[in-house]
Copies of this chain bind each other. A is one copy, B any other.
Amino acid sequence: MIEYRNLRVALLGGGSVGAQVARLLLEQKEELANRVGAGLDLVGILVRDVNAERTVDLPQELFTTDAESLILGADVVIELIGGLEPARSYILMAINSGADVVTANKALLAAHGPELFEAADHVGAQLNYEAAVAGAIPIVRPLRDSLAGDQVNRILGIVNGTTNFILDRMDVAGDTLEEALAVATELGYAEADPTADIGGYDAAQKAAILASLAFHTTVPLASVYREGITSVTPEQIESARKAGYVVKLLAICERLVDEEGRAGVSARVYPAMVPRSHPLAAVHGANNAVFVEAEAAGSLMFYGAGAGGVETASAVLGDLVSLARRHVAGGPGFAASSHADLPVFDIGSVTTRYAVTLEVADEPGVLATIASVFADHHVSLALVEQSMTPAQPGTASHAPVSSTATLVIGTHEATEAALAATVNDLAANPVVTQVASVLRVEGV
């Protein structure tokens, strides 16, 4: 295998996302090098003040205020400053110096996307931005690559966690908008000035990016119709609930034909009623989800945490590893990335929870007997429910009715081996008439 020189990675911005990106780059250095086929060396972090207090402990010598030296000395530049300037100039400087770029800057992409992508195309640089929409949820890459051979007809997105949290509180807890916003602020889901979120401005930026990507056309931010949630009332939410709907702030991107028969697109953001049966209705709290309707693929949904420093850092690192792999031959092959060489454990070592249904003799002491069988194998019980088995009609005429009971037992986590041994012993135990059912319990 060819050895590649390490790639020099510059980080612009040391805020909540930047600090997590730096931490993961340092902590996962070896693992990431294996995945890429070349090392990723974090060479510096651009900050306003090198002596400011940090929430994450990082080597002091990484911090710098010298943007130009940092950018011009890097193979890859990760822009996490946000805002239009100097982010735009820094990205153009990076591209023009031959570096690849990763950015999470939705405001910049919505305002200056075409300029930046043209600059990147011109020199053959890569510009990745998965983190700019819906945080850690992979939506940019699926739209750009996975659906590249399909026709997207519509996107309905819950792309702002703050407003979804607020509307969900209003729906679930009956809060007013003000009460729900206060809770969101207290829990850190809303910023001190919540205008960008509750006014729908943040969602509109994401709608512009999604529509541009989905429809292979330029959708300027100014053409995105926008209403926030500030006028949503508890009465509207209540009346929607009664009718079987829930109110969500949606970013909608749609392929349309207008009244004159012209093909075109629409991008818009507003609060709307969504049927409770729609997958988007089940998106609670500060989560995000993007529902995509494509000509061939049908309906798809992508769901996850929409924001947060470490979640967004995951998307940034995915972009970084993807573009770094293109620096090395072979790309992200199965064999190339199959470096971990981990043992695959037998089912016996796996732990999960179980629901065991037993038919047992209805006699004193039976429960204690059963419980001790579980205890013998160190399987601890989370729940025991006993119900009388109804006498079978037509079976009670001659034989004396031997009364049985049904026991439903839920276990805590146990290994498959321990559970199998327990079930064996239960089946052999004279108080057990039948092991009626053994099912594993997942997702709890």
Q: Which of B236, B274, B316, B335 contacts A442 (CB 8 A)?
A: B274
**In the complex, per-residue mask of A138-156: 1 if CB is within 8 Å of any chain B CB, else 0:** 1001101111111100001
- Kindly specify which of A51-59, A68-76, A173-181, A244-252 makes contact with the partner chain: A244-252
Q: Do the beta carbons of A350 and B35 come within 8 Å of each other?
A: no
**In the complex, per-residue mask of A298-317: 1 if CB is within 8 Å of any chain B CB, else 0:** 11111111001011011111
**What's the least CB distance linking A407 to chain B, in Å?**
12
**What's the least CB distance linking A77 to chain B, in Å?**
16
Q: Do the beta carbons of B235 and A149 come within 8 Å of each other?
A: no
| Interface assignment of A402: CB less than 8 Å from any CB of chain B | no
- Give the distance in Å from the alpha carbon of A20 to the alpha carbon of B297 in the complex: 12
- Kindly specify which of A41-49, A117-125, A185-193 makes contact with the partner chain: A117-125
Given the interface pairs A340-B217, A439-B236, A444-B275, the reply to whether A148 lies near B318 with Cβ below 8 Å is yes
- Kindly specify which of A81-89, A219-227, A361-369, A423-431 makes contact with the partner chain: A219-227
**In the complex, per-residue mask of A269-280: 1 if CB is within 8 Å of any chain B CB, else 0:** 011111100111
Chain B residues with Cβ below 8 Å from A380 are none
Which residue on B lies nearest to A444, using beta carbons? B275
Chain B residues with Cβ below 8 Å from A120 are 330, 333, 335
**What's the least CB distance linking A310 to chain B, in Å?**
5
- Kindly specify which of A194-202, A253-261, A393-401 makes contact with the partner chain: A253-261
- Give the distance in Å from the alpha carbon of A310 to the alpha carbon of B150 in the complex: 10
Q: Which of B28, B114, B235, B333 contacts A436 (CB 8 A)?
A: B235
**What's the least CB distance linking A392 to chain B, in Å?**
14
Given the interface pairs A245-B441, A300-B303, A442-B273, the reply to whether A127 lies near B334 with Cβ below 8 Å is yes
- Give the distance in Å from the alpha carbon of A247 to the alpha carbon of B438 in the complex: 12
Q: Do the beta carbons of B335 and A239 come within 8 Å of each other?
A: no
Q: Which of B216, B271, B273 contacts A34 (CB 8 A)?
A: B216
- Give the distance in Å from the alpha carbon of A62 to the alpha carbon of B126 in the complex: 37
**What's the least CB distance linking A165 to chain B, in Å?**
15
Given the interface pairs A149-B32, A296-B311, the reply to whether A225 lies near B282 with Cβ below 8 Å is no
| Interface assignment of A212: CB less than 8 Å from any CB of chain B | yes
- Give the distance in Å from the alpha carbon of A318 to the alpha carbon of B152 in the complex: 12
Q: How many copies does the complex hold?
A: 2
**What's the least CB distance linking A7 to chain B, in Å?**
13
| Interface assignment of A213: CB less than 8 Å from any CB of chain B | yes
Q: Do the beta carbons of B266 and A350 come within 8 Å of each other?
A: yes
Given the interface pairs A127-B333, A142-B142, the reply to whether A443 lies near B303 with Cβ below 8 Å is no
**In the complex, per-residue mask of A326-354: 1 if CB is within 8 Å of any chain B CB, else 0:** 00011111111111111111110111100
Q: A24-B296, A146-B322, A223-B346 are in contact. List 13 more A-B contacts (CB 8 A).
A: A35-B149, A127-B333, A138-B300, A145-B318, A145-B332, A149-B319, A156-B442, A215-B340, A243-B355, A272-B352, A272-B443, A294-B314, A300-B302
A contact residues vs B (CB 8 Å cutoff): 20, 24, 28, 31-32, 34-35, 109, 113-114, 116-118, 120-121, 124, 126-127, 130, 136-138, 141-142, 144-151, 156, 211-213, 215-220, 223, 225, 233, 235-236, 239-240, 243, 245, 247, 250, 252, 254, 256, 258-259, 262-268, 270-275, 278-282, 291, 294-305, 308, 310-311, 313-322, 325, 329-347, 349-352, 355, 357, 408, 415, 436-437, 439-444
